[in-house]
């Protein structure tokens, strides 16, 4: 055989005269034969694999072929009046109109603090005691006023008696009457000063007892035991702050583009992360007149009743603002929507066991297991009632 191959080589290339040409051509021929065998094996395996689901791309929509198309019920796309909704976020804040500072009008040192930050107090409850030199000064003025009024009263009685007997002129009697009136006015002022400072004139003490002016929660504490309390010429924010949390504010940020849908008196549903599934009702009481220059948002204040004190200061809240007018929106059953790769689809019958898969844009969830559809289908159009079943049937073929 070697001689035959060599003879054929000499006949094909008689001028080359290269005896080793066969050594080069033989390995190349073997490689080409092995490659052809691989292609034939791959083709055989491909022929044995089951056919893929029949899905064709037609004008941006998918055509899906299934057997027994009649078993998939259809539903008609309809419309329903829906109020527009705007969802914003915010936080719970105290109603500043229900915040009351606890003031000590007597300057001095706090010798006893009976409440602390976060405590609930009732109106008239003792909250702290202040040792003040102002009490001594005020009580001294009161005692002098008592003595002056007593002396003026005696003088008036004497002058009235002498005037009635004709022993003194009327001018002297009138002067005594004026002295009595002035002394009584000074005594009244001294008594009022003690009352303002919180001192009982019948039971004087060097300590001023401070009582809660209203019921509520201590939301701010600006003084501690042995600290200074009172009012100075620079002013003071108060030793304590009591807030009535039976009514609170939910302050939300609303973007500039959404302000046209917000108005005073508008109803709002408040939802809190702390109470999932529970909704609180509120009313918009103020819309900020100034926007945040960086975020382009306005502060919207919602008044919310909080009788059980479930809403706490600083809680994160979500407010859903209801539109004033209802508009017709296209809706379909939620089961007619197929969620696939972060997109939403519906199936429309195309005849002969074929369904067209159409891309749609969905909106809010509505009562009755319905979904808003912003685009993709029109009212009156027929779609498959259960899109997931149809998709599963197509994949199994």
Provide the CA 356 distance to its chain's centre, in angstroms: 42
Distances (CA, A) of 284 to 248, 254, 287, 300, 304: 12, 12, 8, 7, 9
Residues 6+ apart with CB under 8 A from 162: 168, 173
Max Cα distance, the chain (Å): 179
Give the per-residue pLDDT at 221. 86
Give the per-residue pLDDT at 235. 44
Give the per-residue pLDDT at 160. 92
| Cα end-to-end distance, the chain, whole Å | 57
What's the token pair of residue 371? 């979904």
Give the per-residue pLDDT at 109. 84
42 sits in the region (left: phi over 0; alpha: psi -120 to 50; else beta) called alpha
Give the per-residue pLDDT at 68. 82
Structural element, H or E, at residue 209:
strand 207-211
* pLDDT tens per residue across all 397 residues of the chain: 344 434 444 444 444 444 444 454 445 445 554 544 544 444 444 444 334 334 444 444 578 888 888 888 999 999 988 877 888 999 999 999 899 888 887 788 888 889 988 899 999 999 988 888 888 888 899 999 999 999 999 999 999 999 898 888 999 999 999 999 999 999 999 999 888 887 888 887 878 888 898 999 998 888 877 666 665 544 455 788 999 999 999 999 999 988 888 999 999 999 998 898 899 999 999 999 999 999 899 999 999 999 888 999 999 999 998 776 777 889 999 999 999 888 999 999 988 888 999 999 998 888 889 999 989 999 999 999 999 988 888 887 6
Structural domains of the chain ordered from first start: 2-48 (no CATH), 56-82+327-396 (2.40.420.20), 88-95+244-326 (2.40.30.170), 98-130+211-243 (2.40.50.100), 133-205 (1.10.287)
């Amino acid at each position: 055989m070697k001689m035959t191959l060599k003879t054929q080589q000499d006949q094909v290339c008689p001028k080359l005269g290269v005896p080793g040409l066969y050594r080069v051509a033989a390995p190349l021929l073997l490689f080409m034969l092995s490659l052809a065998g691989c292609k034939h094996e791959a083709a055989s395996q491909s022929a044995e694999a089951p056919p893929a689901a029949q899905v064709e791309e037609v004008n941006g929509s998918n055509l899906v072929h299934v057997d027994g198309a009649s078993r998939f019920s259809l539903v008609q796309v309809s419309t329903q009046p829906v109020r527009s909704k705007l969802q914003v976020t915010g936080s719970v804040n105290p109603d500043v109109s229900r915040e009351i500072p606890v003031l000590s009008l007597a300057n001095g040192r706090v010798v006893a603090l009976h409440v602390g930050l976060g405590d609930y107090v009732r109106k008239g409850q003792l909250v702290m005691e202040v040792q003040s030199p102002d009490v001594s000064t005020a009580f001294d003025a009161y005692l002098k006023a008592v003595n002056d009024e007593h002396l003026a009263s005696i003088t008036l009685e004497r002058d009235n008696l002498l005037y009635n007997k004709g022993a003194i002129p009327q001018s002297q009697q009138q002067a005594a009457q004026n002295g009595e009136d002035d002394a009584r006015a000074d005594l009244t002022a001294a008594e009022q000063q003690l009352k303002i400072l919180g001192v009982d004139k019948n039971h004087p003490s060097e300590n001023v007892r401070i009582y809660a002016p209203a019921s509520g929660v201590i939301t701010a504490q600006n003084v501690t035991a042995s600290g200074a309390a009172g009012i100075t010429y620079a002013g003071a924010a108060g030793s304590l702050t009591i807030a009535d949390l039976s009514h609170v504010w939910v302050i939300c940020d609303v973007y500039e583009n959404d302000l046209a849908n917000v108005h005073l008196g508008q109803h709002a549903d408040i939802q809190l992360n702390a109470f999932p599934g529970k909704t609180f009702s509120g009313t918009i009481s103020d819309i900020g007149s100034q926007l945040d220059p960086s975020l382009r948002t306005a502060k919207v204040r919602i008044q919310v009743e909080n009788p059980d004190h479930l809403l706490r200061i600083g809680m994160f809240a979500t407010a859903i603002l209801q539109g004033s007018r209802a508009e017709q929106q296209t809706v379909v059953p939620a089961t007619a929507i197929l969620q696939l790769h972060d997109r939403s689809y519906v199936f429309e019958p195309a005849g002969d066991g074929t369904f067209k898969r159409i891309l749609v844009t969905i909106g809010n969830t509505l009562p009755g297991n319905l979904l808003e559809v912003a685009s993709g289908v029109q009212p009156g159009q027929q779609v498959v009632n259960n899109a997931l079943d149809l998709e599963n049937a197509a994949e199994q073929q």
